[in-house]
Chain A
Amino acid sequence: MLMAVILALAVGTYGFRLAGVVLRDRLDLPEPLRRLLPMAAAALLAALAGTAALTDSGAFAGVARPAGVAVGAILAWLKAPFIVVVVAAATTAALLRLLGIP
Chain B
Amino acid sequence: MRTAERTLARDVGALGVAVAAVGASFGAIAVAAGLPAWAVVTMSVLVFAGGSQFMAVGLITVGNPFAAIFAGLLLNARHLPFGLAIADAIGQGWWRKLVGSHLLVDESVAFAMARPAGPSRQRAYWSTGVTLFVAWQIGTVLGILLGGSVGDTDALGLDAAFPAGMIALLLPSLRDRDTRHVALSGALVAVLATPFLPAGLPVLLALSGLLLAWRR
A binds B: yes
A interface residues with partner B (beta carbon < 8 Å): 1-10, 12-14, 16-25, 35-56, 58-59, 61, 64-69, 71-73, 75-77, 81-83, 85-95, 97
| Given A39-B179, A49-B166, A82-B169, A72 and B191 contact (CB-CB distance below 8 Å) | no
Considering only residues 117-157 of chain B, those with a C-beta below 8 Å from chain A are: 154-157
CB distance from B200 to the nearest CB of A (A): 10
B47 touches A64 (CB 8 A): no
* Secondary structure dominating the interface of A: helix
Contact with A along B165-187 (1 / 0, CB 8 A): 11111110110001100111111
Q: How large is the interface on B (under 10, 10 to 19, 20 to 34, 35 or more residues)?
A: 35 or more
With A16-B78, A25-B87 given, can you name 10 additional A-B contacts, CB distance below 8 Å?
A13-B47, A16-B73, A17-B101, A42-B170, A42-B173, A43-B183, A46-B187, A85-B164, A87-B161, A89-B160
CB distance from B151 to the nearest CB of A (A): 11
For the complex of A and B, the 5 pairs showing the least CB-CB separation, nearest first, are: A20-B83, A72-B164, A68-B160, A43-B186, A47-B206
* A90 to B14 alpha-carbon distance, docked (Å): 12
A76 touches B203 (CB 8 A): no
Contact with B161, one of A6, A44, A72 (Cβ below 8 angstroms):
A72
A50 touches B190 (CB 8 A): yes
Contact with B159, one of A12, A75, A93 (Cβ below 8 angstroms):
A93
Closest to A7 in B: B46
